[in-house]
Amino acid sequence: MEQILENRNINDLKNVKKLSSSQLQTIEKEIDRVSYDNLILLKNLSLLTLENDSRKETSLYLIQKLLDKSDERARTILLEDFISFVKNNLLFIKQRHHTTREENIGLNPKLGISLEDDQLRDTWRANGGIYVIPMFFTAIHFMERQNISSNINWIVPGILNILDDTSDILNIKLKGVSLLNELLCITSTNVKDSFLSFDQLGLFELFEPILSNMFYYLPPSYDSKIVLKIWNQLFPTIILLYKTKPDHDCHQVLCKFISEIILQNILPRISLDHEELTMFVLDQLINLIKFIQNDTLVILQRLIFVIGEYLVKNPFITTFNAVLIKTLKLISTMLDYTPIERIKAHRYDFLGLIVIVFEKATLEIDNEEHTDSNSNEIVRMLQQLLVKLQDSGCDFTQDKVKLIQSRSHFAQLFNSTI
C-alpha cells in the first residue's frame, strides 16, 4: 500500500499524482487487511471522484469502505481533518454577485475584472489548487446532512469562486457545476423536505445567472464536443436548481428558461448544423414539457414557431432522419400535455407542421435514390399526430377535402384518421 500511495506529502498539491486503475484495484484488495494512514488514503482516493471513467465510482466505493471500517469517533475526526484541509486550500475571493440594481446603473469602478483577483487565481492554480476541487466534491458528498448547514458559509463561496474561473472551462469552471449539482442532490430537491432552502437563503439568485450564462457557450465559438460535455453537466444542474423553488414558481422559471435560453438562444443558433447538440436539446425539451405539463401553454406559441422555423422548414430536415423523428416526438409530447382549448386554438399551426413534413417525406419516397423505410415511418408518425389532434376535438374534414383536391397524395396522410 505504501508503495502505491505516491502522494505521501499530499499537502503539497503541486506534485500530486492521481492513482491509476490498477493501483485502485490493489488498494481494493488490500484495504481490509493493510493498516495505513487513513487521511493520506482519503486524500489520494478523493482526487479521482470527478473523473469521467470507472475510477470515480471505485474511489467513492473505497472511501465509503474506509469510513465504514472506522468507529464513529475515528470517522468524525477523519472527516473533520479532511474538510479542514479542503477548506484551507480552496480559493476565496470576495464575491460581487450580490450587487443591487442601483449599483449596476452606469460605470462602477468596483465591478469588472480585478488584476488582484487574477493574480490570486494564477497563484492558486500554480500551487496545484485544481486538485482540491475533487477533494471539495468528496467533502460535500460524505459530509453529514446536519453539517451542511453549519458549513454553508464556506461551501457556497468555494463553489462560486470555482464557477467564476474563466481560464479553463472543462477542468475548473465545469467542475464547479458538478460541485453545485452534488450540493443540490444532497440538500434535497423536494422543497418540503429540504433542510437547506436555496430560495429563502438567496442562493438561487447567486447561482442561476452564472449557470444561465454558460448556455451561451455555443458553436462556432466553442467546439460542439466541448459544448456537449458542458451541457451534460449544466442541464441537469440548472433544472435541479429550478426545482428548489415551490411548484408554481418552479414551473414559471422553467418556462422562462425554455423560452429565453433554449428557444430564443440555443435552437436558432444550432439548428441542423450540429446534429448531436440538436438531438440533446430536443430530448431536454421533451422531458421538461413532461414535467411542467399544462404550463406548456405559456410557451406553446414560441415552441411551435421555433420548431417550424428552424427545423421543419429547413430544406435539409429529411436528411437528418433522427432529428426529424425526435422533432415529431416533441410535437406529440406537446399535444399530450397542452390543454385541449389551446390545442384547438393552434390546430392549424399543428396541421401546418404536419403538412410540411408530409410533403418532404413523400418526396423522399418518390425519389428512387432513397429507401422509403424511414419516410414511411415518418408518415405513420404524422398520421398518429393527426389522430391526437382529432381526439382533442380538432375537425379537419373540410381541410382534408381541399388538400386532397389540390394534391391527391394527401389521401395517404388522412388515411384511417378522418
Q: What is the pLDDT of residue 375?
A: 79
Q: What is the pLDDT of residues 178-187, one digit of tens each?
A: 999 999 998 8
**Selection from 337, 330, 390, 394 nearest residue 357 by Cα:** 330
Q: What is the pLDDT of residues 195-229, one digit of tens each?
A: 678 888 889 999 999 999 999 999 999 999 999 99
3-state SS, one letter per residue, for the chain:
CCCCCCCCCCCCHHHCCCCCHHHHHHHHHHCCCCCCCHHHHHHHHHCCCCCCCHHHHHHHHHHHHHHHCCCHHHHHHHHHHHHHHHHHHCCCCCCCCCCCCHHHCCCCCCCCCCHHHHHHHHHHHHCCHHHHHHHHHHHHHHCCHHHHHHHHHHHHHHHHHHHCCCCCHHHHHHHHHHHHHHHHHHCCCCCCCCCCCCCCCCHHHHHHHHHHHHHHCCCCCCCHHHHHHHHHHHHHHHHHHHCCCCHHHHHHHHHHHHHHHHHHHHHHHHCCCCHHHHHHHHHHHHHHHHHHHHHHHHCHHHHHHHHHHHHHCCCCHHHCHHHHHHHHHHHHHHHHHCCHHHHHHCHHHHHHHHHHHHHHHHHHHHCCCCCCHHHHHHHHHHHHHHHHHHHCCCCCHHHHHHHHHHCCCHHHHCCCCC
Read off the pTM: 0.89
Residues of the chain with pLDDT under 50: 98-112, 189-191, 368, 370, 418
Q: What is the pLDDT of residue 376?
A: 83
Q: What is the pLDDT of residue 189?
A: 46
Q: What is the pLDDT of residue 9?
A: 57
Q: What is the pLDDT of residue 103?
A: 40
Q: What is the pLDDT of residue 115?
A: 76
